[in-house]
Chains A and B, each alone.
Chain A
Amino acid sequence: MLVDLQGPWSPIFGRLGLLLDVHYNNPVIFFAFQLVVVGGALLAFWLTCTNRWKWLWKDWLTTVDHKKLGIMYILVGLVMMFRGFSDAIMIRTQQAMAVGPDSPGILGAAHGYLPPYHFDQVFTAHGMIMILLAVTPILVGFMNIIMPIQIGARDMAYPYLNALGLWLTVVAAALVMIALFVGDFSHAGWVGLTPLTELPYSPGVGVDYYIWSIQLGSIGTTLGAVNLIATIIKMRAPGMTWGRLPIFTWTTLASNIIALTSFPVLGVALGLLTFDRYVGTHFFTADLGGNLMMYTNLFWIWGHPEVYFVVIPAFGFLSEIIPTFSEKPLFGYITMVLASMAIALVSWTVWLHHFFTMGASPGVNSYFSIATMLVGIPTGVKVFNWAFTMYRGRLRFPTPMLWALGSLFLLITGGMTGMMLSVPAINYLVHNSVFVIAHFHNMFLLIAYASFGAVAFWWPKVFGFRLDEKLGKLFFWLFTAGTLLVFIPMYTLGFMGMTRRLDYVAHTSWQPLLLLEMLGIALYTLSVLAFVAQLAVSIRDREKNRVTGSDAWETSRSVEWMTHTPPPFYNFAVTPVIHDRDEWAWRREHGLTSLVPDRYLDIHMPKNTAVPLIIGMLTLFFGFAMVWRIWWLAAASLIAIIVVMIIRSFDKDTDYIIPAAEVEKMEQEILSRAAGATGDTADAPIGGGAGGAYASRHAPSQSRKDT
């Protein structure tokens, strides 16, 4: 062993002996454990009873279909969001309970119910999970599902790589979940503050879980970025010029350029930290030539672009939702594209604003202050574009539009508080206060709003039926009330001087606001229940809410609404030719909505493969072995990964052809099902029915070509 390890180590079990010292008597963890075990058992029971194991394996686990992979990405994201939300409840309840010297303590805590070390793990896990394992997979999931259809592609450029990216993300999530029960998690904040993350200060395995989870997951994200960019460059349908790419596709491109270039820097930062912890090098130590600010620099050189990696696709959602429900083309297409790219570019020049107070010279701080403020220009352009899209539009307010509008308000408040923080003088005052926390939650909530909007917006496209509007609106209003009640008090507390990461609150005068936040988190909890109820009710009533045509909203504009709902696994029976920026709106206006081509062609498709799943499993073994320093297992899994990759490279049987006749048969089945569904309803065929031209009752824009 190159470093001094505290506690036991054996060649076979590594550091697993540490577990013998852990007392599993914490009811909080025990409850979470029961939840996971019972949930898993129920799921396995259901799969067995309904005889679905084969279905699970064939249709999901081994699939390379970008739509299914996207759905699984979003599912992982939602599950981890639930986990991160549970952490948030714990943080809020602890802070509301542990106020003042007289506040009682239970479960071994002096105040509240979480001892400091446990509390530190909770907020670290909350931050890391929400950013890297909740928001990121949900956005990547949407990019996977929607973007290829939007550009008229049959699949992604590299379907196999796509599956690999998903399974690496799952490995990251799995490692974090394992850390909950086997060992502990990092207690050093989601940014991994050095030298606190160095071995002498964090001798357990928590930081190792943190390192390997992020490292392996971000390899998956990088692979996904390669895939998404190559897909946009290479797989566009004829006529889909750069000037006609839907804005969501543009934002996907901008965001993945960020991912492709920034995640490797995170890899370097964590890699060097890994060397420090495992080999005993001196990159970020406080002595022997180490430089702990170097970690902070490298981390935020990734970390700040990452913030824009997640916000830019959210802007893409808004740019699809708002025109649809304004029944107008997006205002200022070119400026929207330029703004997305400008934000991506500027995101690289602002990282130092995360440590204005480290003692840099006024020149450095001024540079980064101005660079930070520059971000406001393209973002402002976007806000005005959305506003002008709505101006004199024929507005409707179904749930996706409500989420989009909520998102705009959050963008404005979050943007303004961001401007405040970008002034170094103000930053010195509110540094590390909960004002900063309120600001970035404000920005992440903008992303959450846009994502929930996107879920409601594209759900009918992906699954073929609409979500329940009533419960959807209840979800929206409860969530909004929760947002206001948690984060307005938090901004206020920031001004009052409350710092972040407190497990004990000394000032009793802060308690009323903390209790208000508690009320907010209760409303959030109710909103989660409303969301779950919405999903359950919508799935129960799926026949009633079935979408008859291809276009669920009847005024949609881009190409993904030009294929069946839900799309068949080959997306388009015949590749569409693109004539206009808003191709579907263009076809609708000219009565060209038939989805029936003159003839069908053979389709070339990739075969399902279990290799990505196997590599994912091996990576999980590798990560677990590295965390516990079981060297033989780590080496064996690494070699196995390489061997599996080499074996796969010899596989020549990776594709197949669907003959034209079979395509025709499948298409006719879909079309007749759609026609049957239409016949049952009293309404006129809407949304691009199977049989040909129609005029949407929501699309009077033909007669309003003026403006």
Chain B
Amino acid sequence: MSSHATAPVDPNNVVLWDYEDHGHDFIGTRSIGFWLYMMSDAMIFAGLFAAHGVYVHNFAGSFTANEVIHPINALWPTLFIFTSVLIYGFGMVALKKGSRSGVINALLLSFILGVGFLLMEYREFSELAAMGAVPQVSGFLSDFWVIVLTHAAHVFFGLIWMAVMIVQIMTNGFTQNNVYRLINLKLFWHFQAIIWVCVFTFVYLMGGI
């Protein structure tokens, strides 16, 4: 084992303790933790999509996929959520410039678009409920409701987070805590958009054909 105590060491000239106190990059540490959390969140959706592959044809003699899924229903929410993500991105540019009002305005607009997304989903699912296509009807509908609404729950929590951030930036400005939270929320907001791409593709486009 070459690394074990073969080279001679001068005991007077060896640095044993680190006095520089390099510290640890606060924001970097927080970001990597959030990336790791998102890995686990991605696994939740991986499980759900795997289940979707099994349930996608289990209509149980009830509604078939193209009776309840219309890709157009998902197109408008898609535009809303993607615009929201884009505007959040503008907010991050404003953060780099140190513009407090820029960040707050972007967050506000992003928030409103997110709410719009949820309202459209609400409309879609209340229509489904009105026509009797509720999750209790078949394995397929159970899966459809759960997979789309799990994503909606992510959007919902993202919106709560966004509202809190607006208040925190208004009261505290760009503190270290707020900056790392903005960066993590950016990751989260992009993440739910990426999941929406998968929902749109695998559930709406492939299901609506």
Contacts and interface: CB of A to CB of B under 8 A. Distances in A.
A290 interface: yes
A599 interface: yes
Contacts, number: 173
A234 B175 CA distance: 21
A592 B136 contact: no
Contacts of A291: 54-55, 58, 139
B27 to A, nearest CB: 11
B19 A226 contact: no
Contacts of B3: 243-244, 580-581
Contacts of B4: 329, 580-582, 585-586
Contacts of B46: 265
A328 to B, nearest CB: 9
Interface in A130-157: 157
A229 interface: yes
Interface in B135-155: 135-140, 142-143, 145-146
B86 interface: no
B138 A222 contact: no
B131 interface: no
- Number of contact residues on A: which range applies? 35 or more
A333 B1 contact: yes
A20 interface: no
A574 B19 contact: yes
Contacts of B55: 283, 289, 291, 294
A390 interface: no
Contacts of A158: 33
A222 B4 CA distance: 36
A272 B14 contact: no
A577 interface: yes
Interface string B1-24: 101111001010011111101111
A633 to B, nearest CB: 21
Contacts of A585: 4-5
B122 interface: no
A587 B14 CA distance: 10
Nearest to A268: B47
B16 A280 contact: no
A289 B140 contact: yes
Nearest to A234: B29
A589 interface: yes
Interface in A1-16: 2
Contacts of B14: 579, 590, 592
B75 interface: no
B61 to A, nearest CB: 9
B130 interface: no
B48 interface: yes
Given A234-B24, A261-B40, A264-B44, A275 B138 contact: no
A27 interface: no
Contacts of B15: 577
B51 A294 contact: yes
Interface in A287-301: 287-291, 294, 298, 301
Nearest to B53: A294
Nearest to B57: A289
Contacts of A282: 58, 60, 136-139, 142
Nearest to B4: A329
A398 to B, nearest CB: 23
B160 interface: yes
A229 B47 contact: no
A267 interface: yes
Contacts of B9: 590, 592
A298 B23 CA distance: 42
Contact of A592 (B16, B24, B28, B36): B16
B51 A272 contact: yes
A642 B160 contact: yes
A576 B140 contact: no
B135 A279 contact: yes
A408 B29 CA distance: 38
A294 B54 contact: yes
B136 A2 contact: yes
A282 B24 CA distance: 49
B1 A329 contact: yes
Interface in A248-276: 260-265, 267-269, 272, 275
**Most chain A beta carbons < 10 A, residue from B28, B50, B136, B175:** B136
A264 B5 contact: no
A580 B146 contact: no
A132 to B, nearest CB: 17
Contacts of A576: 16-18
B177 interface: yes
Nearest to A289: B139
A598 interface: yes
Contacts of B54: 291, 294
A597 B15 CA distance: 10
B24 A289 contact: no
Given A281-B136, A291-B55, A268 B44 contact: yes
B28 to A, nearest CB: 7
A705 interface: yes
A454 B145 CA distance: 47
Interface stretch (A166-174, A423-431, A621-629, A645-653): A645-653
B129 to A, nearest CB: 12
B43 A264 contact: yes
B164 interface: yes
A268 B51 contact: yes
A577 B17 contact: yes
A222 B40 CA distance: 8
A636 interface: no
A587 B33 CA distance: 33
Contacts of A272: 51, 146
Contacts of B32: 230, 233-234
A101 interface: no
A665 B21 CA distance: 20
Contacts of B11: 590-592, 693
A235 interface: yes
A158 B34 CA distance: 11
A43 interface: no
Given A289-B142, A575-B17, A592-B14, 10 more contacts: A226-B33, A268-B44, A279-B135, A289-B140, A290-B58, A329-B1, A575-B21, A577-B17, A589-B5, A652-B172
17 contacts: A233-B32, A260-B39, A260-B40, A260-B43, A263-B40, A272-B51, A282-B58, A283-B142, A289-B55, A289-B59, A289-B60, A291-B55, A574-B17, A586-B4, A590-B11, A592-B16, A650-B168
Interface of A: 2, 157-158, 161, 222, 225-227, 229-230, 233-235, 237-238, 243-244, 260-265, 267-269, 272, 275, 279-283, 285, 287-291, 294, 298, 301, 329, 333, 574-577, 579-582, 585-587, 589-592, 597-599, 601-602, 604, 642, 646, 649-650, 652, 693, 705
8 A-B pairs with least C-beta separation: A289-B139, A289-B58, A268-B47, A281-B142, A289-B60, A264-B43, A574-B17, A597-B17
